[in-house]
A and B are shown apart, each in its own frame.
Chain A
């Protein structure tokens, strides 16, 4: 077919100087800039665009925009996208589209036979069958049949989406007559206005008719006003953008398709609007009768829009079927474009005079309805019958324009928890009470008279601006005309077709009038039940053209009114939005940033395997030599610490400086043990609990001077501890004089540990006495080390003599390199967290993530000594006392030695009585090959464990039982002589 077949010789808002080639189902076609895929297909005479979801019935283009239920296609190649209706896809050069749900083509679909079984497939049929031999026997087939398009096989590059945040006084949704007026009024008042429209062309419905506004054509008026708004400094206009969510506190989410930056595919805005004017227009409804889904059946407004917007003649011989006044203009315009209009079939017994005047010269069959559409892959004609009495006759046509009335687009109003009411006059759900920040205007408010629409837009814009503190905004509402008044009489379903299994209320999901009736018959009478049982309104189009008919049919069936039925919940998004546009550039490190120390590049250069270590830190796990296994590397590193010296990067450990008169009081409140006797330069290990009396964190706190302390926390909990302390101070003890400063990232440290640590430190030229007497365990000194100002702490996490050398972050790498250089004489080895783990397990030191488990208190870990008996109060005291007052036996920390000394126990393996398949009595919290003991050692939590030292317990690892001896939880230097040396 040639492209001139259905394209009018002139007119339309397309650019005929820019032809575009595209493909559909492999065939080459041409359209023009300004076309959508749908209009270009219609211009090329293509009416069959795909097959339906359930029955594989032929389907074509029904609507004009995102509401279209019938023409889902898949895009290939660069555009690679899944299920959009052809009506919402702007034509572009090289577009490659395919129909969905049919094979090999929509015209010759091998699954078309499923129509034959339609009588077996009523609503919810799958709940009643497929039970024998079991659902699994049928499910694969059903799944393959379901779904529309395919996910593109390859990942699309994501640099093409960005997210912006914006603020405005007044956000106007929709740039039709009401929206333009609202934006104009608000802008004139001085408000900051954002005007959003899904169409690139401003004007909305004004572009699709022939009315005049302000003495010029409506389309010209819209263009001029948009240009005027564009010239104002306080207006931002987003064209080709959809407002798809309206959330709390004035947050609206907008996605712009093809924003004016060539490298961007789309841009999502999170806009905070103080006031929102919803002028999103209205959507025309389908009419429900038998075979109302034949390609060639189209909404009347869509046919009119194709005519005016794209200069496309969607058929040769048309018939208009309506229950309201609005479709008469379509009939008139079709006739004016040279399309034969066979008749206007109006279900109203007495159409209003204004309507009749519009369509002068066209036969009007009042009180008639269409009962059947004929044809299969293309409409051939319809059967028309009077509503009352006999006299059915067949009328040939290849285009049937339907208008079932108009449904205001209240989605965004409802999303913001606005309530709707059923308006008898317009037979539609219209906004009732809503959030104070939201105004509806125009046909979204249920107004269908153009003059009233313009006025309501101006009023909404003016009020919205005024509520943002911008008075004024008086704009003259232009005179519109001629536009006859809207009048409608509801027709939810043609009476004769009420039980038809081929009268569709939801074209996309193949839901029929009979399905609704069956749902009601079976008890699924609530509107949500109907939706869920029949799937009406759950397709990609979310039932925009059909849901109101469902409500009407349902009301009729259960003998009530649409008002009593109500609607299903309106949920975001208003239209399907690509996940890529929602996530924007957030991927990889932009989604999950990580923290690193100044030494990180050194670690990586020296072969460290980096681990995710909590609080988004990455730390060296171990440093394998070429060809070395994990186990060998860990053993080598551990042995170096026990026998010579190792160094690890302890910078991520949390650090908080605490100042003020009441600093000690805070520390006493936070930790279970006492700190009052601590002298300047001294430190103490402490455990802090939650209010629930469970261990929250541990660490060493040093006293730096009068009313001045440095608290260290575990890496993962640094932020949480700081938060808890601040919360306590500000909310519970606002009168205390304490200042907290988290300083984790200001320090970098190299912790040297091992018998040779002191010799190594001496080689780094410290300017202080580092002998054990002058610088004992658990003390802290400021010094110059390796030429750098440093703060050295004698703490130990490995059980060996250790010096934690802290320097300013900028000196971190220099310190590390000097330590490594000086250490070579002592056979120094960099040590990762794996070896650290081995060493602390040997020593029986606590690791929160392993032993505390969120369920233990200090007594459970054999650390009752750390709970002060004298302090009046500390956080968690009361709860721990209450819990322990029951005398219930608890799980306690013990050492576990497998009888087979080489048998590694999986960490987290359960202990059960006798190793039987029973309720657990504990678990292995950690298990390592001890370099000191030259055997496997483990820690565990065991019910009543301390009383069972010396006994045998059993670890159950699936089908294996491993006998272990219960011991004290320390396998190395139990008296702490080495770390104090």
Chain B
């Protein structure tokens, strides 16, 4: 069980969160994409043996969505920030 460091609540156990899988490029840039690009975006998320950017929801905490950089090989967490500010 991971410890995630919520920027709003501090260090919390994984059981307070929901993992929504790898974070992808924001949807808005894809509005003009080709069908193939959209299919790729939809069906082939990043699957690195290494650091993956993930979306986690602090559902049993502050309710904020977070972007977590987590190593899929070691489970070490390199960064955690609020998703709202991801594209600032």
A residues at B contact (CB < 8 Å): 247-251, 270, 272, 417, 691-692, 723, 726-727, 730-732, 734, 873, 878-879, 882, 885
B18 touching A723, Cβ below 8 Å: yes
B20 touching A727, Cβ below 8 Å: yes
B18 touching A730, Cβ below 8 Å: no
Interface residues of B in 1-58 (CB under 8 A from A): 1-3, 18, 20, 23, 26-28, 31, 35, 38-39, 42, 55, 57
A732 touching B26, Cβ below 8 Å: yes
Q: How far is the CB of B44 from chain A (nearest CB, A)?
A: 13
A723 touching B2, Cβ below 8 Å: no
B83 touching A731, Cβ below 8 Å: yes
Query: Taking A731-B23, A734-B84 as contacts, is the C-beta distance between A272 and B64 under 8 angstroms?
Result: no
Interface contacts beyond A723-B20, A734-B83, A879-B38: sample of 7 additional A-B pairs, CB < 8 Å, sorted by A: A692-B42, A727-B20, A727-B55, A731-B86, A878-B38, A882-B38, A882-B39
Q: Which residue of B lies closest to A731 (CB)?
A: B83
Query: Taking A692-B42, A731-B23 as contacts, is the C-beta distance between A248 and B1 under 8 angstroms?
Result: yes
A730 touching B64, Cβ below 8 Å: yes
A248 CA to B42 CA in the complex, in Å?
30
B residues in contact with A250, CB < 8 Å: 3
Q: How far is the CB of A498 from chain B (nearest CB, A)?
A: 41
- Name 8 interchain pairs, CB-CB below 8 A, sorted by A: A248-B1, A692-B42, A730-B65, A730-B83, A731-B86, A873-B31, A878-B35, A882-B39
Q: How far is the CB of A100 from chain B (nearest CB, A)?
A: 36
A727 CA to B83 CA in the complex, in Å?
9
Q: Which residue of A lies closest to B24 (CB)?
A: A731
Interface mask (B54-76 → A, CB under 8 Å = 1, otherwise 0): 01010100011100000000110
Q: Which residue of B lies closest to A872 (CB)?
A: B31
B residues in contact with A247, CB < 8 Å: 1
Q: How far is the CB of B39 from chain A (nearest CB, A)?
A: 7
A residues in contact with B63, CB < 8 Å: 726
Q: How far is the CB of A718 from chain B (nearest CB, A)?
A: 13
Within 8 Å by CB of A726, from B26, B28, B57, lies B57
Q: How far is the CB of B67 from chain A (nearest CB, A)?
A: 8
Query: Taking A247-B1, A248-B1 as contacts, is the C-beta distance between A730 and B84 under 8 angstroms?
Result: yes
Q: Which residue of B lies closest to A885 (CB)?
A: B35
Number of A-B contacts (CB under 8 A): 55
B residues in contact with A734, CB < 8 Å: 83-87
B residues in contact with A730, CB < 8 Å: 64-65, 82-84
B31 touching A248, Cβ below 8 Å: no
Which of A250, A730, A882 has the most chain B CB within a 10 Å cutoff? A730
A251 touching B18, Cβ below 8 Å: no
Query: Taking A726-B63, A730-B84, A732-B28 as contacts, is the C-beta distance between A879 and B42 under 8 angstroms?
Result: yes
Q: How far is the CB of B35 from chain A (nearest CB, A)?
A: 5
A residues in contact with B23, CB < 8 Å: 731
B residues in contact with A732, CB < 8 Å: 26-28
B75 touching A249, Cβ below 8 Å: yes
A727 CA to B23 CA in the complex, in Å?
11
B residues at A contact (CB < 8 Å): 1-3, 18, 20, 23, 26-28, 31, 35, 38-39, 42, 55, 57, 59, 63-65, 74-75, 82-87
Q: Which residue of A lies closest to B35 (CB)?
A: A882
Within 8 Å by CB of A417, from B65, B74, B83, lies B74
A residues in contact with B26, CB < 8 Å: 731-732
A109 CA to B44 CA in the complex, in Å?
62
A residues in contact with B2, CB < 8 Å: 248-249
A731 CA to B28 CA in the complex, in Å?
11
A731 CA to B56 CA in the complex, in Å?
11
Q: Which residue of A lies closest to B63 (CB)?
A: A726
Q: How far is the CB of B30 from chain A (nearest CB, A)?
A: 8
B residues in contact with A691, CB < 8 Å: 42
A residues in contact with B87, CB < 8 Å: 734
Q: Which residue of B lies closest to A248 (CB)?
A: B75
B3 touching A272, Cβ below 8 Å: yes
A residues in contact with B39, CB < 8 Å: 882
A251 CA to B14 CA in the complex, in Å?
12
A885 CA to B65 CA in the complex, in Å?
35
A740 CA to B51 CA in the complex, in Å?
32
Please provide the 10 A-B residue pairs with the shortest distance between their CB atoms, ordered closest to farther: A734-B84, A730-B65, A248-B75, A249-B3, A731-B83, A730-B83, A732-B27, A730-B84, A882-B35, A249-B2
B residues in contact with A727, CB < 8 Å: 20, 55, 57, 65
A270 CA to B26 CA in the complex, in Å?
38
A250 CA to B77 CA in the complex, in Å?
13
Q: Which residue of A lies closest to B3 (CB)?
A: A249
A residues in contact with B74, CB < 8 Å: 417
A249 CA to B83 CA in the complex, in Å?
23
A879 CA to B31 CA in the complex, in Å?
12
Q: Which residue of A lies closest to B87 (CB)?
A: A734
B residues in contact with A726, CB < 8 Å: 57, 63, 65
Q: Which residue of B lies closest to A881 (CB)?
A: B35
A95 CA to B42 CA in the complex, in Å?
62
Q: How far is the CB of A684 from chain B (nearest CB, A)?
A: 25
A252 CA to B6 CA in the complex, in Å?
22
A251 CA to B23 CA in the complex, in Å?
26
A249 CA to B77 CA in the complex, in Å?
9
A879 CA to B42 CA in the complex, in Å?
9
A726 CA to B57 CA in the complex, in Å?
9
Which of A249, A692, A731 has the most chain B CB within a 10 Å cutoff? A731
A734 CA to B63 CA in the complex, in Å?
14
Q: How far is the CB of A254 from chain B (nearest CB, A)?
A: 15
B residues in contact with A873, CB < 8 Å: 31
A residues in contact with B82, CB < 8 Å: 730
Q: Which residue of A lies closest to B23 (CB)?
A: A731
B residues in contact with A270, CB < 8 Å: 1
A726 CA to B59 CA in the complex, in Å?
10
A873 CA to B38 CA in the complex, in Å?
14
Q: Which residue of A lies closest to B43 (CB)?
A: A692
Q: How far is the CB of B3 from chain A (nearest CB, A)?
A: 5
Q: How far is the CB of B79 from chain A (nearest CB, A)?
A: 15
A301 CA to B58 CA in the complex, in Å?
52
Q: Which residue of B lies closest to A740 (CB)?
A: B63
B3 touching A723, Cβ below 8 Å: no
Q: How far is the CB of B6 from chain A (nearest CB, A)?
A: 13
Q: Which residue of B lies closest to A165 (CB)?
A: B13
A417 CA to B86 CA in the complex, in Å?
32
Which of A249, A692, A879, A885 has the most chain B CB within a 10 Å cutoff? A249
Q: How far is the CB of B66 from chain A (nearest CB, A)?
A: 9
Q: How far is the CB of B86 from chain A (nearest CB, A)?
A: 7
B residues in contact with A249, CB < 8 Å: 1-3, 75
B residues in contact with A417, CB < 8 Å: 74
Q: How far is the CB of A942 from chain B (nearest CB, A)?
A: 28
B residues in contact with A885, CB < 8 Å: 35
Q: Which residue of A lies closest to B36 (CB)?
A: A882
Q: How far is the CB of B75 from chain A (nearest CB, A)?
A: 4
Q: Which residue of A lies closest to B74 (CB)?
A: A417
B residues in contact with A879, CB < 8 Å: 38, 42
A731 touching B55, Cβ below 8 Å: yes
Q: How far is the CB of B33 from chain A (nearest CB, A)?
A: 9
A878 CA to B74 CA in the complex, in Å?
36
B residues in contact with A692, CB < 8 Å: 42
